[in-house]
């Protein structure tokens, strides 16, 4: 099966081992988008993404130094460059070599700028959220820009690895960039709930980390069938069959404090 996760706003640019890295499939498109964003001033970037003046200036500078090809001087592997909660759950740096290769074939990161990334694709520093209404020749948003491109690439990779299932561990903002009507895969949506004082609900911080942990579980355990996902128990989560349905798998854990 394939699994998709969201990128992160926060980046980690510490030096890493750059052996066996790859180039993004849509590197040309990423450069094209970077050049469109480059024409925006800091205030326009702030308005586009709803970010502070300092973050807008940082990303203004990033777009102005963005190159058409990634290299060991200006880039890092995607799974190690992103540093949000999902990536704390994924812990890509600690995967053994065999699992890392499996992840390269079965794990994908959705991206506003790069469209779709493999874990060891080199990316340059950026921030461009998928929900951004960046105007391009293809429309008035990144959803319109990417169209069915991402779903087509997922279909292509599914054929390569003989997969018929996609586990969606991404946020709605990012998975909405996947054209479900063009996707030739069954989509499974894991939901991670926290039970405290008898009330169960999704808590964003924990859910994001659990999505990363689920992606790691799929990679390390080489999960191929949907039933195999039911064994996910990292962090104390347990599968809840009564609350689940064909395409939704609910996991719950109890908080004693």
Query: Could you read off the pLDDT of 34-70 as tens digits, one per residue?
Result: 999 999 999 999 999 999 999 999 999 999 999 999 8
DSSP code at position 121: B
At 256, the pLDDT band (50, 70, 90 cuts) reads low
CB 3 within 8 A of CB 174: no
List, in order, residues 6 or more apart from 154 with CB less than 8 Å away: 2, 4, 108, 116, 166, 178, 183, 185
The neighbour count for residue 32, using CB atoms within 10 Å, is 16
Cα angle 18, 13, 73 (rounded to 5 degrees) comes to: 50
Predicted local confidence at residue 227, as pLDDT: 96
Spell 166-204 as b/e; 16+ CB within 10 A means b: bbbbbbeebbebbbeeebebeebbbebbbeeeeeeeeee
Of 212, 45, 41, 29, the closest CA to residue 121 belongs to 29
Q: Is the pLDDT of residue 257 over 60?
A: no
DSSP code at position 186: E
Q: Is the pLDDT of residue 232 over 70?
A: yes
Share of the chain above pLDDT 70, in %: 99
pTM, to two decimals: 0.95
Cα angle 20, 113, 9 (rounded to 5 degrees) comes to: 85
């Amino acid at each position: 099966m394939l699994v998709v996760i969201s990128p992160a706003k926060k980046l980690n640019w510490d030096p890493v081992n750059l052996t066996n890295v790859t180039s993004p499939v849509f590197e040309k498109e990423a450069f094209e988008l970077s050049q469109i964003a480059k024409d925006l001033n800091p205030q326009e970037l702030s308005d586009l993404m709803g970010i502070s003046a300092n973050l807008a200036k940082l990303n203004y500078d990033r777009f102005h130094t963005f190159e058409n090809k990634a290299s060991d001087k200006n880039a890092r592997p995607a799974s190690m460059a992103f540093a949000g909660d999902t990536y704390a759950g994924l812990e890509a740096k600690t995967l053994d070599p065999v699992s890392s290769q499996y992840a390269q074939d079965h794990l994908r990161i959705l991206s506003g700028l790069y469209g779709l990334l493999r874990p060891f694709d080199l990316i340059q520093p950026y921030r461009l959220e998928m929900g951004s209404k960046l105007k391009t020749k293809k429309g008035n948003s990144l959803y319109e820009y990417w169209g069915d491109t991402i779903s087509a690439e997922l279909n292509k990779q599914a054929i390569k690895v003989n997969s018929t299932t996609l586990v969606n561990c991404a946020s709605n903002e990012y998975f909405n960039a996947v054209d479900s009507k063009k996707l030739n895969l069954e989509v499974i949506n894991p939901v991670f709930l926290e039970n405290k004082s008898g009330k169960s609900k999704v808590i964003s911080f924990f859910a994001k980390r659990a999505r990363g942990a689920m992606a790691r579980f799929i990679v390390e355990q080489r999960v191929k069938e949907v039933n195999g996902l039911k064994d996910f128990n990292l962090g104390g989560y347990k599968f809840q069959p009564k609350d689940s349905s064909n395409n939704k798998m609910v996991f719950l854990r109890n908080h004693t404090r």
